[in-house]
Chains A and B, each alone.
Chain A
């Protein structure tokens, strides 16, 4: 027992010494000479912080925190059981009802962030079809989001096509883009796929940025219509009045609808014949082919279906911002969406929702850190992954991808 702790302390001390060696050259060597005070200050803060967490951890290992954690865990379990005993439909209705409430009392900021979360839920679930279900690594997913956004933006400002009509068009365009990207990549595996999809994503962004006549380049497209609805007006008899859903609460309900649709659709796909076939491809492509799965068509379908949800989210994004520019479709966004899928737990719908919540809410939560914000975010990302390597809420059915087991 004590020997083990000694080892841990040794490691901790070694780590801190190593950290100081890395920190000092960055902070201590200046053209004015060598200095130690500023780097020691940062180092001492970090040392104190890690010591605190180490202390908590040791207390936990020794069981000193049981008086608190045991009841908490058992409470959590019993609540879980009680909830699990309720019929699923009731739960779903309750959850949807709860989701409908926020616009009634929440402030603008909270609504705005929740709208962002739901946009990314659509994106995450769409990417989940490609990465989580079919096991194809895609680093250019944001391109479909961009295609959807620009499709709606262009149709709206050039032909004033209403939002609801554009939704299927944007989804269709994204699906076509998905097939175009999917086709040449079907022969590739793993990391070749990753770089090719990354390349396609960058190509789409660069075209958006450079094709001045169509997309107005870096200036972006302005004056996109918000979604509109015909609303019955009872004031003077019965007339249908056309209103634009510009206000955040309305937009919240629109994206809530879209997100629920996406969740339902991906859930149904997951448990359909197609979903099983995708999972078969993920687990072992050769075996799947032997069992009669048409891997060529199904992989292409995975790209197209994944792109559809990206396109839907993109069209909504354009309608919500009423402005699109290539700045929204950088590679880092693709990486973020992929992170949501992996952090949440691949192929797990509740996991991906959790992952999205974490990765969208964290940078907002860290806003008070000002310029330390992204530092904290990057660190948090790695730490979360270290503590939950399988994801926050891993899927039940998930084997090793065939390539990995080699």
Chain B
């Protein structure tokens, strides 16, 4: 039982990361119907910005005196950085192709993904980078189940970001504009919504969430690598589709499911086949519900 609970916690943490990355996929897909292969690279860039800024703080000595300020500041800056990066990528590589076939955009995204990954490798070096220890790795023991403070913080931050995103999409003007653009581009343009701006914002928000995930992954697992975006990118893409692509609640659910399946497959069946089980679950689920768990574009929740 303890074993099971512990694995649940492991799965939820991993699933939370996938959910954060999947949100960016799903939002971008909702607005311009593009599978943004470069999204995993935004996640990696976020992780790197986090390590750069936190190491800088640590060398200045701020990290020990104001850990929360440093962490919060780094996270905001990294999110801003990735938002800028995503907007630049969108303007250069996707905007000119908006009228072309969707597959042309997909190819452009793949090119950008290779470019950014190698850009990270060249500027940051081939060796992995290590996060400075922000908080001591204290562990909370509940019986035989142990939760680290890092895990609690990660879960809390993930939940907070998800709630914040929901509020942004459903309560604010820009959120409404995003939903309108996702539903009908022509109609929303007619009522005076600037599609270019909305698309830029969508990329920025999605990349910001990916950056937050990148920092948390970096802190939780301890290191970042230039190619760390690729595998989680694919998993998050699977999560987004599993939940019903374009559907925000679906993406969160999908992320959690993929995370849990992966952990339980590794725990109870076999580590080497865990990805096989994740994909089998995905395929089985899609066979019975071809538009994902929550369904695609069911109401106005699509972004």
Contact = CB atoms under 8 A, between A and B. Distances in A.
Interface of A: 15, 18-19, 21-23, 25-27, 29-33, 131, 137, 184, 187-189, 191-192, 194-196, 198-200, 202-203, 206-207, 209-210, 331, 335, 338-339, 342-343, 346, 371-372, 374-375, 377-383, 385-386, 389-391, 400-401, 404
Given A195-B282, A346-B103, A385-B104, A31 B119 contact: no
A174 to B, nearest CB: 19
A357 B124 CA distance: 32
A26 B104 contact: no
26 contacts: A25-B52, A26-B52, A30-B56, A192-B286, A192-B290, A192-B291, A195-B238, A195-B241, A196-B283, A200-B283, A203-B279, A206-B275, A210-B272, A339-B107, A342-B106, A343-B107, A371-B121, A375-B122, A381-B107, A382-B92, A382-B111, A385-B107, A386-B97, A391-B104, A404-B33, A404-B102
Contacts of B37: 335
B88 A18 contact: yes
A102 B116 CA distance: 37
Nearest to A217: B272
B100 A390 contact: yes
The A contact surface, by secondary structure, is: helix
A390 B234 CA distance: 26
Given A379-B115, A382-B92, 6 more contacts: A25-B52, A192-B241, A198-B237, A200-B279, A385-B111, A404-B101
Interface residues of B, number: 62
Nearest to B111: A381
A377 B114 contact: yes
Contacts of A381: 107-108, 110-111, 114-115
A331 B230 CA distance: 10
A21 to B, nearest CB: 6
Contacts of A207: 276
The B contact surface, by secondary structure, is: helix
A385 B124 CA distance: 28
Contacts of B283: 184, 196, 199-200
A31 B276 contact: no
Nearest to B81: A25
A377 B107 CA distance: 12
Interface string B252-279: 0000000000000000000011011001
B145 interface: no
B203 interface: no
A31 B130 CA distance: 12
A210 B291 CA distance: 31
Nearest to B105: A385
Contact of B59 (A31, A342, A404): A31
B118 interface: yes
B287 A184 contact: yes
Contact of B245 (A191, A198, A202): A191
A346 B103 CA distance: 9
B279 A335 contact: no
Central interface residue in A26, A137, A339, by most chain B CB within 10 Å? A26
Given A29-B56, A378-B111, A206 B272 contact: yes
A29 B282 CA distance: 42
A191 B108 CA distance: 17
A210 B273 contact: yes
A189 to B, nearest CB: 8
Contacts of B33: 404
B198 interface: no
Central interface residue in A188, A346, A381, A390, by most chain B CB within 10 Å? A381
Given A194-B35, A196-B283, A18 B84 contact: yes
Nearest to A355: B107
Given A191-B241, A342-B103, A389-B104, A378 B113 contact: yes
